[in-house]
Amino acid sequence: MRSGMMLILAILAILAASLPADAQLAEKKTWSFDGDPTGLIARGFIKGSGEWKIVATEEGKALAQLAESPNSEFNVALVDGTNLKDVDLSVRIKAVAGENDQGGGLVWRARDAKNYYVARFNHKEDNFRVYKVVDGVRSSPFQNADVKHHDGWTVVRVTMKGDHIEGFIDGKKSLDVTDSTFPESGKIGVWSKSDARSQFDDLTVTGDSAPSPLERVQTIALKGPVGGLDHLAIDSRRGRLFVANTSNNSLDVVDLKAGKLLKQVPGQARIRGIAYATDLDRVFVGNGSGGVFNAFDGQEYGLLKSLPLGDDADNVRYNPANRRIYVAHADEELAVIEAESYATRRPISLPKDVGGFQLESRRPRMYLNAKSVGQVFVIDLETDKIIDRYPVAPAGMNAALAIDEPNRRLFVGCRLDPSLVVMNSDTGKVMARLPIPGDVDDVSFDPRIRRIYLSCGDGAIALIRQKDADHYEPLPTIPTVRGARTSLFDAETGQLFLAVPRRADRPDQENPEVWVYRVKP
């Protein structure tokens, strides 16, 4: 009997393995919140907007939206780390209070807290609707169903496969629509509007994670309080990553081989920018408080030189061709420092509010983001003169930049009308423009597989494929967490490093972190 049962199980296993991929059962996950501490947002959730806290109920615990905003604002809480496309999603909702609005709903395929699909049940209006929210603006409903509310809990369920959406209330199908605004995978979450105080419980999802062009392979804990992290640099020979731990006022040195924090160099007041000079084996740092520039040896990280430049030193770059260091500071000046003697040259005057800048390796050129005027400045590094200005309009607040030197292309990340702007580096002509999530702060280009990475503080890494010098297409966005906006791509190892600050709205994150991603072609 036992051998016969084993044979049946073996046959079933073979049959299951032979099913096509889309016939395999996807993993099911439920968040019931009973193990979460009250007074905080649920573990694994991130607040996009609103006030989300775990509360005690008659049945146990629930995730509650407590904000009482009288305006037509959307309250969103997303599940960190989810990256789902085709989903079967449900939640129990209880309307507690609300003068302007009551009830709530489900969010899916969320690129961030301002771009997603939402299915919501309004207890006050007795209707069930599906919308899309694009850049924080909600569309007219795709479809409206009149559904009478009842006291207690209501089960809202939505399924989406491809572009087909179905909505259910308490098990009864009420909506059936199609839309392709968000064709890519994204986060899931819960939602309410205005002053709708609602409770959510038993959030359940069944879905397959979409294949990702980036695989998160490691999380490295740093040390420090709640607050920001800024830019990164790498010593590839030693396998060490440098992180500007701004809130901790320290230069953090990470041992990438061991996957742990190796050393913290204290006394770096509001550290912002970092550059590593391989040929000199030195680390250069720009500190926001006092605009102090510091140079350290690359082995023991002893201080070699300190120069007060003026307020708010930020981005730092080293040019091995002329052995000079460039430090943006006071938001209106670029300091030029001889790397061997630390002698300062005449600074380059700039407009107020400067963003990131990059150096060409084949020509004595720098490209610098002048955010306040919406232009990329071209600077001749032999004369230290601005020789051209490239407007990024209709985008603006150009904050980050990367270069494709063989194709003479600039990749400019803009925060106003969030976009990647592709420019001809010789003429400034705009060759392409693609939408990205908000609050971009770093851009990297992988010439080996022709892929662009943009880390965005709205909680995503945007990926864009270069088909050729003039044509580009977006790849699935990688959900991260809000505030994680600085990154570094290492072409030697094919890894992307993302700085993830410790935040008050993520109480389960005990330390600032570095997330390590492996690039997948």
Residue 9 has pLDDT above 80, yes or no: no
Domain ranges of the chain: 25-209, 214-519
Mean pLDDT of 20-35: 67
Q: Centre a 10 Å sphere on the Cβ of residue 504 and count the other Cβ atoms it contains.
A: 11
Q: Is 243 helix (H, G, I), strand (E, B) or coil?
A: strand
CA separation (Å) from 435 to 441, 444, 447, 457? 15, 16, 21, 15
Strands 513-519 and 495-500: antiparallel
Report residue 227 CA to chain centroid gap. Answer: 16
Mean pLDDT of 397-407: 97
Mean pLDDT of the chain: 91
pLDDT tens digits for 460-513? 899 999 999 999 998 878 888 889 999 999 999 999 999 999 998 777 789 999
Comparing C-alpha atoms, which of 163, 90, 162, 105 is closest to residue 138?
105
> What's the CATH class of domain 25-209?
mainly beta
Q: Is 16 helix (H, G, I), strand (E, B) or coil?
A: helix
Comparing C-alpha atoms, which of 280, 248, 270, 276 is closest to residue 261?
248
Mean pLDDT of 160-180: 96
Whether domain 214-519 has CATH 2.130.10.10: the reply is yes
Q: What is the pLDDT of residue 61?
A: 97
CA separation (Å) from 453 to 56, 76, 145, 343? 42, 26, 41, 36
Q: What is the pLDDT of residue 26?
A: 56
Residue 229, amino acid:
L
Q: Is 391 helix (H, G, I), strand (E, B) or coil?
A: strand
Q: What is the pLDDT of residue 477?
A: 83
Mean pLDDT of 169-179: 95
pLDDT tens digits for 215-255? 999 999 999 999 999 999 999 999 999 999 999 999 999 99
Burial class from Cβ neighbours inside 10 Å (0-12, 13-18, 19+) for residue 162 reads: exposed
Q: Is 31 helix (H, G, I), strand (E, B) or coil?
A: strand
d(CA 296, CA 3): 70
Residue 118 has pLDDT above 70, yes or no: yes
Mean pLDDT of 298-311: 94
- Of 478 and 409, the one with more pLDDT: 409
d(CA 123, CA 151): 9
Q: CA 31, 32, 35, 36: dihedral to nearest 10 degrees? A: 70
